[in-house]
Amino acid sequence: MLLADMIVLRALSISENLTGTTTMTFVVLALGGNLGDVPQTFRLAIDALQDAGMKEIKVSSFRQTAPVDCVPGSADFINAAIRGVWHDTPETLLTLCQQLELDAGRPQKHGINSPRPLDIDIIIFGEHQISLPHLTIPHPETGNRLFVLEPAAEIAPNCLVPGLNHTFSELLLLFNNQ
User: Which residue ranges form the domains of the chain, and what is each CATH number?
Assistant: 3-141 (3.30.70.560)
Eight-class DSSP state of 22: B
Measured from the Cβ of residue 49, the count of other Cβ atoms closer than 10 Å reads 22
Instruction: Give the whole-angstrom CA distance, residue 51 versus residue 32.
Output: 20
pLDDT at 3: 36
Instruction: Give the whole-angstrom CA distance, residue 172 versus residue 146.
Output: 7
pLDDT at 112: 63
Which residues carry out catalysis?
Answer: 106, 116, 119, 121
Instruction: Give the whole-angstrom CA distance, residue 86 versus residue 108.
Output: 24
Radius of gyration of the CA atoms of the chain, in A:
16
Instruction: Give the whole-angstrom CA distance, residue 42 versus residue 52.
Output: 15
Judged by average pLDDT, the poorest of 5-9, 21-25, 51-55 is 5-9
pLDDT at 132: 92
Mean pLDDT of 141-165: 95
36, 63, 93, 176 from 126: Cα distances, Å: 32, 25, 13, 26
In degrees, rounded to 5, the angle at the alpha carbon of residue 176 between the alpha carbons of residues 137 and 97 is: 30
Rounded (10°) CA dihedral 35, 36, 37, 43: -70
pLDDT at 106: 78
What pTM, to 2 d.p., does this model score?
Answer: 0.85
pLDDT at 37: 96
